[in-house]
Amino acid sequence: MSNFSTPFAANTPERRRPNAEEQSLGFPCGPSDRELFNGLIHTYQAEIKSVATEAGVTGSDADYNLLRDSIVALIEAATGGGDPSSYLTEAIAKSRLPFHAEVETADNKLGVQSPGSGIVRVPGGVDFVHRGIVRVSTAQTDLGTSANSTYHLRWTAAGGFVLKSLADPSYNPGALSETATAFDGTYDDLLFARVTTNASNIPTITDLRNAANLLDTVTANATNVQNSGKNFARGDVRLPINWARTPRSRSITMITKNNDGDVNDQDRLIFALGGYGGTQLTDYPVDRYGCNFTQVEDFMTSMRLSGAFGG
C-alpha cells in the first residue's frame, strides 16, 4: 500500500532513530524495540510523502506506485511533460554526448605548474566541463616525475589526474612518437599537458588548450632566412598552437617582401603539397603543438605567415 497521507507512527512521540551499532548490525536478539520500529517506518513513509506532496500526487492503498508517480510528475513539471522514457539522464549524457571537454579559463588551460624538482602540480579550483554537461572542479594534486622522461598529464572520471610516461609499454606499447594522434585527448580520456624532465628532474610543462571547439589563427615571421633576395630564398616558420588534440583543418597564408622592397603575395594561400607561382612548401607537419615548415619564395627578403587551424 502507498497511502502515506499520514505516515506510520506520525502522531506518537514513541519513536527513535537507530544508534550507530543498530545502524551497522540491525536489530539485536530479543524482542523488537517498538520506538525503533516506529521510527524506522515513519522515516521512510515521511520521506516518500514529502516527495508526493511536492508533486501533488495522492497515494492509494490499491497500488505501490506513489513514489514513481511522484517522481514522474516532478520531471514532467520541470520539462513540460512527455514520455519519461525519452528523458536523458546525466549518466546517459556522459556516455553519449559527442563534446570535448572545455576548461573554463580565459585560455582554456589548467595552468599546470611545477613547485620544484620532481613535482608536477595540478592547481585547485579550476573548473572544466566534461561531455558538455558535468562540471568538474579540480583539487590541488601533486604528481611525481623521474629524470629524463616525457609524460602526458591525463584525466578520466574513474582515475582522476595521472601522469603517463611515454616510456611505459602499457601506455605506449607501439613506442609511438609523443606527437602521435593516438595520444590526442578524447571525450573521456582528457589530455591536459606535456611534461618533460631533464637530468636534474626539473619539469618543463606545456599546458594544452581544451575546448569543445578549437579555432586559432597564429602569425609568425620567418627565421633563418637564406638566399635573401635571390632565387630559392627560404625561411623557417614556427606557428605554435598547443592544443589537446591535433588540428583537423588548417590553411597557411603569407605576405612576402622582395628584393626591391615591394610587398607582394598578399594573403597567398599555401597548399600542403606545393606552392603557388614561385613558391614551394617543402614540408607541412602539424601536430598538437603547432606547425613547423620551411617556405621557399624566389627573391624574398622577408616573410610573414599566418596559420588558421580548426579542430
- Most confidently predicted of 44-48, 234-238, 251-255: 234-238
pLDDT of residue 200: 98
* Closest C-alpha to 6, from 69, 55, 48, 64: 48
Cell numbers placing 79: 520539462
More confident site: 282 or 88: 88
pLDDT tens for 139-157 read 999 999 999 999 999 999 9
pLDDT tens for 250-304 read 887 777 777 666 555 544 444 433 344 444 444 567 999 999 888 887 788 888 8
Q: Rounded to whole angstroms, how far apart are CA atoms 110 and 126?
A: 7
CATH number of the 102-207 domain: 2.60.520
Q: What three-state secondary structure class fits 152?
A: strand
Residues 208-214 have a mean pLDDT of 97
| Residue-averaged pLDDT of the chain | 84
Instruction: Spell out the domain ranges in the chain.
Output: 20-87, 102-207, 215-310
DSSP 198: -
pLDDT of residue 87: 66
pLDDT of residue 260: 62
CATH-assigned architecture of domain 215-310: Sandwich (2.60)
102-207 shares its CATH topology with 215-310: no
Residue 240 confidence class, pLDDT cut points 50, 70, 90: very high
Residue with cell 525503533: 36
- Give the predicted TM-score (pTM) of the model: 0.69
Q: Are 282 and 294 in contact (CB under 8 A)?
A: yes
Write the DSSP assignment of 162-187 as a string of letters: EEEETT-TTT-TT---TT-GGGS--S
